[in-house]
Structure 1
Amino acid sequence: MSGLIGNKIRKVRELKGYSQGFMSEKLHVSQRAYSKMEREEIKLDWHRINEIAQILDLDPIDLVTFDDSLIFHNCSQSGSKHHIQPVSRRAKRAI
């Protein structure tokens, strides 16, 4: 997977407020191994990307194509501070 998937995973993880420790527990790997995934020192296959996307509550395609230039906001209607939702380009212009 190209496009610095590890960096995209890190950015979404941080937006969700999740630690590397939290992610490593969910993936049943050490924190050090998870850190290597984000730094792309360990190759991520599609199965692992799918697992990470599930933890981050994203579609795997959305994770792979994540564009941090989009604006995200906390969705207060969800009742969860960890829920992020893309703001439409039209709404972005109005901000």
Structure 2
Amino acid sequence: MNIGTKLRKLREDQGYSQEYIATELGISQSTYYKLEAEQIRLTVERAKQLAKLYDIDPEYFYASEASAVYYNNGQGNYHNSIQSNIEKYDNSTGELNKDLFLLLKDELEQSRKEREIFTNLLEKILKNQK
């Protein structure tokens, strides 16, 4: 998947308009359109801004097998293909590094739990403000 397609897919999956993303990045909508259309290059700095917005690793935009992990529309579901990509990578070498795989799997699970706790806390705070 090319960078433009990744940008468009992330944006659409989150229900954002090009205008919204452009505003968040401090650029015009037409400039953002050119990023998705790959008429201009995605700079590392802009990739960092987008990664922060989508809560993903900036490497996602540049790696051919990169995976995004992000909260999907607030419904508690994660898009996550990191585990499957680790398995593909390890299987392509013929060696499965089980220790590395388990470590990454545990870290991912811990991140999910922390995100859930944080989301619940924010919801409680918002309810108390009403």
Task: Quote how far apart the aligned CAs of 1:14 are.
Answer: 0.8
- Match 1:37 to one of 13, 35, 38: 35
1:62 equivalent in structure 2: 60
Could you tell me which runs of 5 or more consecutive residues in structure 2 were left unpaired when the two chains were aligned: 85-130
Within 1, Cα distance between the matches of 2:64 and 2:12? 13
Change (3 A) 1:58 1:74: closer
1:85 equivalent in structure 2: 79
User: Which structure is larger by alpha-carbon Rg, 1 or 2?
Assistant: 2
Change (3 A) 1:21 1:66: farther
Q: What SS class does the counterpart of residue 56 from structure 2 fall into?
A: coil
TM-score (norm 1): 0.66
Which residue identity does 2:12 align to in structure 1?
E
Greater CA drift, 23-32 or 57-66: 57-66
2:25 equivalent in structure 1: 27
Equivalent pairs counted in the alignment come to 82
Task: Quote how far apart the aligned CAs of 1:65 are.
Answer: 3.5
Indicate the structure with greater helix content.
2
Could you tell me which runs of 5 or more consecutive residues in structure 1 were left unpaired when the two chains were aligned: 90-95
Which residue identity does 1:29 align to in structure 2?
I
Task: Quote how far apart the aligned CAs of 1:66 are.
Answer: 6.9
Aligned partners of 1:17 and 1:82 also within 8 Å: no
Percent identical among aligned pairs is 31
- Root-mean-square deviation over aligned CA pairs: 3.2
Aligned partners of 1:8 and 1:66 also within 8 Å: no
1:10 equivalent in structure 2: 8
